Structure 1
Amino acid sequence: MIPRFNYSYSLRDTWDGITGLLFNKKPNTSYLNDLFPGAAIYFVDSARMGIKYALLAFNLKPGAKIGIQPYTCSSMLAAIAAANCRPVFIDINEQLSLDCDDLRRKLTGLDALIITHTFGIPANITQIKQLTGQLPVIEDCAHAFHSWYEGIHAGNFFDAAVFSFGNGKFPSVGGGGLLVINRRKSSERVAGMLGKLKSSGLVRELTFAGRQLVNALIHSRVGESTLYYLLNENFLSNKSQQISDYPTHERQPYRSVGYAMQRQFTELAIMSMKQRENARYLIDRQNSHYKMLANVDDAGNSFAIVLLSHRRNELYNFLRKKGIGAGKHFQHAKSWAMQFGYQHGECPNFEQIVGEILTIPCHYGMISSDLQKIDQCLNEFTQSNNLTR
């Protein structure tokens, strides 16, 4: 099975983590200053934790209204609730990011806004800036490390930004994330709050490194194939339907994540280029048959290819049977949102598109034969079903 995302966590990552912990090395994060000049940068235990603390740093009133698109991970909604705020849902456009017309209609009364660079495709930052003025804004960059907008790295445009380095993200270093604060008063509050968190001990750190190595093996080609044959689709769908709860115990991030990130940072440009080339190859060959989305900016990172199809479920099953790790990303987003107050018909574009989204792998771990196989299988499905775009 060609894995949908890259879950790489190597023996070298494990070794770097263990030796760093045993010798009590402090991860060097100076390389991040070039990407986020002038910002305060914090490693956090998870992206959802980053969202919560970014909201708390704004010093909002209890029950504050936070604008967010419904096509998002349930962990983002859980983080809003953990910050004692509530979401206001704003529709998405064809690029799967905030629809600026709907944002304009719902802007009055918002206390803050979260914009998402979904699948690494930058939102319309210029127009959002014009609309929001002084409103506090957070960039959800969980898919957008090494994504750029007009030559500037995502995460630099508003008050705060959150990145994820969890399983299957880019880069895949096992867990945690990054909280970027671009506002001095907010950074002082964040530093004070994060400084009070308990650090992980040596045993927890070593257990984490070992667990990530095992997880990478499970999501390797052989591991993914084994899971596909052992677990039925209903089991996987029911599991993904569950809301990602906010953690009951907050901690400082695992230091081993910082070690792995430090080593992989020198390779990011090459990995981004590989993913971008993979995405372009498949889009160029299939664009006449399917509507496909990806960030193919000359310097950017393609987190995944999005294929939009009314026959999404059939195509998903076909590709999985052929050994291709396609995914129905955030397929339960509407039911998640409804548990946080979403009303049917509130975001009509979202409700139409959410059932058509299929992600196709393009990660840097793929080889040329993988791309050829995906291309051939898509052609086979197209021809057997007489499909045209």
Structure 2
Amino acid sequence: MSVDLPSYEDLRLVRCTLEALPGVGEAEVLLIADGPRAAVSALVSDGRPLPEPTVAALPPARLGNGETQVVPGCLAAMERAAVLAIAHTVHTMGSLSDSADALGAAPRHRWIVRRWLAALASENLPVPPSRQELTRAMRDLDAARQKLGYPAEMGRFFQTALRSLPRLVRDEISLQSLLFAGGGMTTARGNYRDNLISRHLNRAAAEAVAARAPARVLEIGAGVGATTDAVLAAVGEVDYLFTDVSAFFLDAARERFAHRPGLRYALLDVNVPMALDEQPFDVVLAANVLHNARHAGRTLAAIRELLAPGGTLVLIESCVEHHLVSASMHFLMSPRADALLPGFADVRQDQDRVFLGRTEWIRQLAAAGYRDARVEPAPGDPLAAAGQYVFTAVRGDRHSPPAPLLSKAAEALPPHLVPREIHTVDALITDRSHRP
């Protein structure tokens, strides 16, 4: 059943109305899901320029040590296997000019095919790899997997995904069926916890949480609990709200952490209004989840409103679109065929990418009203080759409460265009070519 969405002109009317209100210098308007329907969301700033964001200096290899020296070489081997598997798929099933059609790609996965073609161009692979070359690359991938400490289940996942690219791109099988084979979580935990890279990142995130000495912690998108384990070991007993968009993960966590006092559980989706009937939190933790936000700035602003004054946000985020990710985990990021609002609405719009870069996250945090940003690992750390970072930032106090703006907007707009939420931010990061 089709849903009537507010038009471009409707959203432009909302933006102009908000920008005419006292104290509003600039507004950005977008759509968010609100149950089965769409609702208007808005970010407003006072128009003052944002100072250039700064990041605290860290030792060049605080996270890395002797064992992490293998990371760059291992990742290079895994990337090589992935791009050769992509080349084999594209050249065997189609041509470089019309691969999406030749592969029979499902419409929702066509963006992945475009990423594959860009990868082949960047790696200068105009001809398909030989069978011997592909076999050797697969052996090298598994050797690298073992050096990085991924469990055998994760090795089987990588190999199966790379050999199943035609079926994945046609939606004949789902990546979830490979990642959660048999309904188990061993493979997913291998990706997010049981490997050298994730161990160091989760430890750094746990230390950042513990440094706040929190009484109340909210974890968003906790999933398989990979980062939760490290944090709970570091903080002792706290009031800990474990949330995820899926009841499947909540049920598994209730069983897994049944022995742990202080844990509570709730459904939470970063792409809908995130009002919680809760006291403010000392720390909000989001590990490998905020790239799912349709609009990163809106979600960061909504999270800031869940924090107590001076509260800390801790993120783990991937910032590089690796070939291996484009041949595996990116299938989790394709919109559902019946998605109400497919695609991103922020700086990633129409760019065939999922992840914000390291510098982009720093700017987004500053614009959304955070200060004192720290990022690990430092550029000179071997772990930086993974393109995954721990971001820590503190809630700032420059913004004003949005409630009066909501009241004034309700007076000036038709009822169906009144924003479901308004977030006040320090600055807007807007691609004006897409702006209503």
Query: Do the structures match in fold with TM over 0.5?
Result: no
Say which one has the larger Rg.
2
Q: TM-score, normalised by structure 2?
A: 0.25
TM-score, normalisation: structure 1 = 0.28
